[in-house]
Structure 1
Amino acid sequence: MTFSSLFVQMLNGLADASAMFMVAAGLSLIFGVTRIVNFAHGSFYMFGIYIAYTIVGMMGGTGLGFWASVVLAALAVALIGALIEILVLRRIYHAPELFQLLATFAVVLVLKDVALYIWGAEDLFGPRAPGLTGSVEILGRRVPQYDLALICIGPLVLGILWLALTRTRWGKLIRAATQDREMVGALGINQAWLFTGVFALGSFLAGLGGALQGPRMPANLAMDLEAIGSAFVVVVVGGMGSIPGAFLAALLIAEIKALCIAIGQVEIFGVVFSLSKLTLVAEFLVMAFILVVRPWGLLGKPLALSRNVSGVEDPLRPTSKAVRALFIIVIAALVAVPLLAAAFPYLTVLLVEILVAVLFAASLHFIMGPGGMHSFGHAAYFGLGAYGAALLFKSVGLPMEAALMLAPLVAAVGALIFGWFCVRLSGVYLAMLTLAFAQIVWSIIYQWDAFTGGSNGLVGIWPAAWLSSPVAYYYLTLALCVAGVWLLRRALFSPFGYAMRAGRDSPLRADSIGIDVKQVQWMAFVVAGMFCGLAGSLFAFSKGSISPEAISVSRSIDGLVMVLLGGVQTLAGPIVGASVFTWLHDTIARETEYWRAILGLAVLALVLAFPLGIVGFLRTVFQRGDKHDGGTPGTKPVAVTVTDPAALREAV
């Protein structure tokens, strides 16, 4: 590696940083004012490049046509963002933050299929920027002129944003809303239009970042999730709400990735390491390090770190006799399902997927609801369980039964390691650290071809002979999933469960009576990871193969959707949410190629109709009915609240 090649690679990193900064700056503005973790922000980036491709084709490839298409595409995306804020998000600002996240995820599904319908599934290559199609020789190396232009555009956008936020009244209102939204409203400011304006500005920046990438990369349907992952990293590393921090973080991450590519390989103690492979995970390694060392980011403020507790929830109560009877009936019906296998051969296969999803969602709910710890990377333990089972079966040669039972311990070890770091944070910082660890695990699995099969995965992972029948494997899955959900529920009503909920509702009070909140949360991570690993191992043997998709961000998001769809404050919520989501996903996907949009609209309708989740809504209806009926003496279950001192002492 020569100095000239390193210098040129670093210049390419600066060009990448410009686009990354624009997307992250918009996301940071939206989060700072509206407090929404906007998963749809990557879709705005994707729409920017698609719309610019269309406009430049209509206006011609002249210099005026190209730059006009960039600006018009960004303005079009700003309009789309404003409409989404007015029609969707404005209706759920008072809903729990995670439900707002669920709504933005539904928007992602809809926008992806809108792009598929308009532009198709093929990659689209836009024209080169007129006047910037050549290259400049620097230190004997050729550098594209357009990359040098992008290097200048990034700081220019930063300067304009800084002036707008510090020298205009609107900018001062944005900064005030970032610090205290309620006070801004009390001063008579129209919050609704302020939020809409900020959302439009953030969408404009994302669309601008996408439109400017047209000459450098083709437009494709995978850009949304790729962009939102990088944007989250930049925002967290730079500091929530800090525009200069986002610029600094974008530079840092882009240059680290460029350095890894330039160096290529290094030899340490005789072992050769390929640094170029770190480009897939470098940004998440940086984010994990920053979150552990300085959770509020490079230029963020320590005050931004909060526990993100929305208030003490009602205590969990023992299941009533009616609900117990309903569950017994459901289990009996599931046992009888194979009697219909001849008429509906696909039914047992679908139910295995639903049961695996139920156990996955129940394990996530265990730390999210009663534990109060948000996780964006729960798929890490699902993937560790799945790959653990596959490798124990194929590489070690263990029988299927042994591999199935030992694989959850692999996931538990992963949760033990990751959880030690995660429980030291809270709120969105904890969620982002779980995402970082999940992406690190995904990168290792994706690139370790000799051991995990790399992107091709592992095949030939079949159940034992006595489980080769779909019906036999269905019964095994049913038994293990019912046992897993029952054990998780029992744990919540044990002293450990009381201590976990006490740490969620009142950490200071729990600490004062001797509960080690962090240790309890750490153990909750391990328990959840172990049962999630069991779901992953069942999944691997049901499919006969496993690939890195099992550990991707999309699976973690699916888990969040399941829990939130059913209701995060109810024990039955993850069961109902996972069943409904998996059934909808399977049913719609088999009917049309635009299943994402239909599924997204269905999820969005459920979010707007049932802001507490399906089970939460039904519980509220029944509670209202009990009040109108005056209640029936002796039917209300007795429960001890988690903040009762006697219960807390028992938990200790």
Structure 2
Amino acid sequence: MSFSGFLVQLLNGLAAASSLFFVAAGLSLIFGVTRIVNFAHGSFFMAGIYIAYSVVERFAGSIGFWPSLAVAALAVGVLGALIEMLLLRRIYKAPELFQLLATFALVLVLKDAVLWLWGPEELLGPRAPGLAGSVSILGRQFPMYDLFLIVAGPVVLALLWLLLTRTRFGTLVRAATQDREMVSALGVNQAWLFTTVFALGALLAGLGGALQLPREPANLEMDLNIIGAAFVVVVVGGMGSIPGAYLAALLIAEVKAVCIWLGVVDVFGVSVSFSKLTLVVDFLVMAVVLVWRPWGLLGRPQAPSRYVGMREEPLRPASKAYLVAASIFGLLMVAMPLLTASSPYTTVLLIDLLIAALFAASLHFIMGPAGMHSFGHAAYFGLGAYGAALLVRALGLPMEVALLVAPLVAAFGALIFGWFAVRLSGVYLAMLTLAFAQITWAITFQWDSFTGGSNGLTGVWPSEWFSDKRVYYWLTLGLVAAGVLWLRRVLFSPFGYALRAGRDSELRADAIGINVKYMQWRAFILAGGVAGLAGALYAFSKGSISPESLSVGKSVDGLVMVLLGGIQTLAGPVVGAFTFTWLHDVVARNTDYWRAMLGSVILILVLLFPQGIAGSVQGLWERWRSRSSATSSGTSSTAGGAAS
């Protein structure tokens, strides 16, 4: 560890901060004005580098290298404007979480579009003219292009500051960030403002991607790799704060650089690999900042939106028709292994559907009735899965005992994480849950001696009398049904009513003596335990477990299931889980471009059912009943008048 190495790593951090800032600045602008948590923003970054590769390859000789990068960024800005006008503008009146679902579907579509246009291979661009060499700094070579990026970040920050503080457009953007409904009430063309801001945010992400062309090859994983870091930067800096985004990018990039410089260090006789911390250090920083300052370093508490886009319906006991339908469905599920005896794979798929339904129901429990949006629910699914696997492998306990204890392991994790999370709200709560999930994933991924590291744990099979897949299916069906019905019973208990009271009006609930945060904490623990049961069932159904069960992708899958089915109904998560898991299986097995197909189907469902599948069907059923009742009343009145 030399001073020259330390200085070079700090410079590397500055260059990385600039690249990260371009993406985070655009994301911060879009969220500040439209309130959309744009999962597709990383796709704009990826599109920027791929488009830059093609433009440079074809036109660099005629228009030059740097104009080619500018053209690529402008092309991404136009793409963003088209997406906003053709898709997002149609769902602005939908619940904000369904807008998130639409942007997730866009990620799938854009990834396969890039795959179709450029292929699966990595594409390495040319060196930047005039910046292809390196300079000597204290005897170490440092790329000249990275020096350029170090300067480019503050230049873009200054230009954005001038745009937002010295122009009428900037005034409108800052006003919309604080109160977009009031801006609309003052006569500002909100549609034009949203399109312009979305295009500018996409352009910044595209510029960030284009500028990476001389540094790294274009690949299909760039979208997901950058979006997590960009979300962290935006939240740490403060939602909607451009200077905050730059400060957060500097902080996180430099902390990573220092970890790389430290390498492996002996701390009180224990070897600590700081370089491995780079996988999770940004989420550690975010967790610390959110616990200390919930609205970020330079952010402000968000003003509540006057239009939340979702009307919370009171939960009602099941009607006779619903109970009859549920009973018929239950009997059909019991008989499915017998009806599909000639297709063993169907039983395996049904087990996956049931486990997904339980996982989605546990997430819905805190998202719908409790009003807490979690981006890291996979942490408890993974804790339950690893808990069951370790209980069987390390302690030699039977599967039956592991299924009882594993949910307690997950509930304990939820008890610790939930204590911090429930003190926040909105997107800050969601991002803190994501931070805790990523920290859990990193520990699991790197603890080779205990969790098996990246290889996971194998040989986690059911007990002998559950080794038959049909018998294990019936066990899974019974436990999933018990878990879902228990969650439903809790919601109709005094605790459930108090939980919903705190969601609907925290101030009024507090005034009548309800400790809202304590209720939410208890709900967090219950949901974590049920998710842990789903994870334990998953581990025994597959015979193994890997860190992917705690990944961001697993959490996003849970979100998609809940939102696809409908957050306002208790049947929604089950319907969404069955629909998403079945679609994923069918589409992935029948086409190479399954992501685009799945994303397109989700987009169609979002446009057709803005309240989710189950929510929209329930709404249609209630409107039909109301019309039928009105028609019957009118007929009775007419008959009565005629008789008179």
Band the TM-score falls in, shorter-chain normalisation: over 0.9
Partner of 1:646: none
Q: Encode CA deviations 1:52-87: one digit per residue, 9 max, x unaligned.
A: 11111112479x632122111111111111111001
1:454 Cα deviation from its structure 2 partner: 1.2
The 2-side partners of 1:289 and 1:314 are apart by: 36
1:310 Cα deviation from its structure 2 partner: 6.4
Partner of 1:147: 146
Is the Cα–Cα contact under 8 Å of residues 239 and 297 in structure 1 kept in the other structure? Answer: yes
1:312 Cα deviation from its structure 2 partner: 6.6
The 1-side partners of 2:475 and 2:347 are apart by: 12
**SS of 1:346's equivalent?**
helix
**SS of 2:296's equivalent?**
coil
The 2-side partners of 1:438 and 1:415 are apart by: 10
The 1-side partners of 2:81 and 2:233 are apart by: 24
Asked if 1:185 corresponds to 2:184, the answer is yes
Is the Cα–Cα contact under 8 Å of residues 95 and 310 in structure 2 kept in the other structure? Answer: no
**SS of 2:441's equivalent?**
helix
Partner of 2:636: none
Partner of 2:608: 609
- Give the TM-score normalised by structure 2: 0.96
Is the Cα–Cα contact under 8 Å of residues 178 and 302 in structure 2 kept in the other structure? Answer: no
Q: Give the letter for the 1:619 counterpart.
A: Q
Partner of 1:238: 237
Partner of 1:83: 82
Aligned pairs for 1:366-515 (under 5 A) are 366-515=365-514
The 2-side partners of 1:388 and 1:581 are apart by: 27
Specify whether residues 306 and 234 from structure 1 end up closer, same or farther in structure 2 by C-alpha distance, changes over 3 A only.
Answer: farther
1:404 Cα deviation from its structure 2 partner: 2.1
1:167 Cα deviation from its structure 2 partner: 1.1
1:304 Cα deviation from its structure 2 partner: 5.0
Q: Give the letter for the 2:293 counterpart.
A: R
Q: Encode CA deviations 1:12-57: one digit per residue, 9 max, x unaligned.
A: 0100000100000000000011110000000000111111111111
**SS of 2:239's equivalent?**
coil
Farther-moved stretch of structure 1 (121-130 vs 599-608):
121-130
Is the Cα–Cα contact under 8 Å of residues 93 and 309 in structure 2 kept in the other structure? Answer: no
Aligned pairs for 1:553-632 (under 5 A) are 553-630=552-629
Q: What root-mean-square deviation, in Å, do the aligned CA atoms of Structure 1 and Structure 2 show?
A: 1.6
**SS of 1:266's equivalent?**
strand
The 1-side partners of 2:381 and 2:593 are apart by: 27
Partner of 1:207: 206
**SS of 2:344's equivalent?**
coil
Partner of 1:125: 124
Q: Give the letter for the 1:69 counterpart.
A: S
Q: Encode CA deviations 1:109-135: one digit per residue, 9 max, x unaligned.
A: 100110111111222211111211111
Specify whether residues 119 and 299 from structure 1 end up closer, same or farther in structure 2 by C-alpha distance, changes over 3 A only.
Answer: same
Q: Give the letter for the 1:500 counterpart.
A: L
Q: Give the letter for the 1:83 counterpart.
A: L
Is the Cα–Cα contact under 8 Å of residues 311 and 505 in structure 1 kept in the other structure? Answer: no
Q: Encode CA deviations 1:161-213: one digit per residue, 9 max, x unaligned.
A: 11111111111111111122122222222111111010000000000001111
Q: Encode CA deviations 1:261-318: one digit per residue, 9 max, x unaligned.
A: 0011222222111111110101000001111110111111235589997677221000
The 2-side partners of 1:309 and 1:84 are apart by: 22
Is the Cα–Cα contact under 8 Å of residues 179 and 303 in structure 2 kept in the other structure? Answer: no
Q: Give the letter for the 1:627 counterpart.
A: S
Is the Cα–Cα contact under 8 Å of residues 341 and 347 in structure 1 kept in the other structure? Answer: yes
Q: Give the letter for the 1:353 counterpart.
A: D
Is the Cα–Cα contact under 8 Å of residues 263 and 276 in structure 1 kept in the other structure? Answer: yes
**SS of 2:216's equivalent?**
coil
Uncovered stretches (5+) of structure 2, i.e. residues with no partner: 633-644
Farther-moved stretch of structure 1 (387-396 vs 182-191):
182-191
The 2-side partners of 1:66 and 1:467 are apart by: 64
Partner of 2:137: 138
Partner of 2:100: 101
The 2-side partners of 1:566 and 1:143 are apart by: 52
Q: Encode CA deviations 1:457-476: one digit per residue, 9 max, x unaligned.
A: 11111111111111111111
**SS of 1:180's equivalent?**
helix
**SS of 1:108's equivalent?**
helix
Is the Cα–Cα contact under 8 Å of residues 309 and 505 in structure 1 kept in the other structure? Answer: no
- Identical columns (%): 70
Q: Give the letter for the 1:226 counterpart.
A: N
**SS of 1:18's equivalent?**
helix
The 2-side partners of 1:332 and 1:414 are apart by: 35
Q: Give the letter for the 2:17 counterpart.
A: A
**SS of 2:64's equivalent?**
helix
The 1-side partners of 2:316 and 2:89 are apart by: 33
Asked if 1:158 corresponds to 2:157, the answer is yes
Is the Cα–Cα contact under 8 Å of residues 60 and 68 in structure 2 kept in the other structure? Answer: no
Specify whether residues 309 and 505 from structure 1 end up closer, same or farther in structure 2 by C-alpha distance, changes over 3 A only.
Answer: farther
Q: Give the letter for the 2:58 counterpart.
A: M
Q: Give the letter for the 1:199 counterpart.
A: F
Specify whether residues 469 and 232 from structure 1 end up closer, same or farther in structure 2 by C-alpha distance, changes over 3 A only.
Answer: same
Partner of 1:54: 54
Give the aligned length: 632
Partner of 1:14: 14
Q: Give the letter for the 1:25 counterpart.
A: A
**SS of 2:590's equivalent?**
coil
Specify whether residues 214 and 266 from structure 1 end up closer, same or farther in structure 2 by C-alpha distance, changes over 3 A only.
Answer: same
- Give the TM-score normalised by structure 1: 0.95
**SS of 1:302's equivalent?**
coil
Partner of 2:547: 548
Partner of 1:251: 250
The 2-side partners of 1:386 and 1:454 are apart by: 14
Is the Cα–Cα contact under 8 Å of residues 307 and 427 in structure 1 kept in the other structure? Answer: no
Is the Cα–Cα contact under 8 Å of residues 379 and 551 in structure 1 kept in the other structure? Answer: yes
The 1-side partners of 2:522 and 2:252 are apart by: 33
The 1-side partners of 2:307 and 2:493 are apart by: 25
Farther-moved stretch of structure 1 (398-407 vs 433-442):
398-407
**SS of 2:141's equivalent?**
strand
Is the Cα–Cα contact under 8 Å of residues 570 and 615 in structure 1 kept in the other structure? Answer: yes
Is the Cα–Cα contact under 8 Å of residues 462 and 540 in structure 2 kept in the other structure? Answer: yes
Partner of 1:273: 272
Uncovered stretches (5+) of structure 1, i.e. residues with no partner: 634-652
Is the Cα–Cα contact under 8 Å of residues 308 and 426 in structure 1 kept in the other structure? Answer: no
Is the Cα–Cα contact under 8 Å of residues 408 and 529 in structure 2 kept in the other structure? Answer: yes
Is the Cα–Cα contact under 8 Å of residues 411 and 530 in structure 1 kept in the other structure? Answer: yes
**SS of 1:295's equivalent?**
coil
The 1-side partners of 2:283 and 2:207 are apart by: 24
Asked if 1:33 corresponds to 2:33, the answer is yes
The 1-side partners of 2:100 and 2:595 are apart by: 17
Specify whether residues 241 and 483 from structure 1 end up closer, same or farther in structure 2 by C-alpha distance, changes over 3 A only.
Answer: same
Moved over 6 A (4+): 305-312
The 2-side partners of 1:140 and 1:265 are apart by: 23
Partner of 2:638: none
The 2-side partners of 1:119 and 1:341 are apart by: 42
Farther-moved stretch of structure 1 (298-307 vs 80-89):
298-307
Q: Encode CA deviations 1:465-510: one digit per residue, 9 max, x unaligned.
A: 1111111111111111001001000000011101111110111111
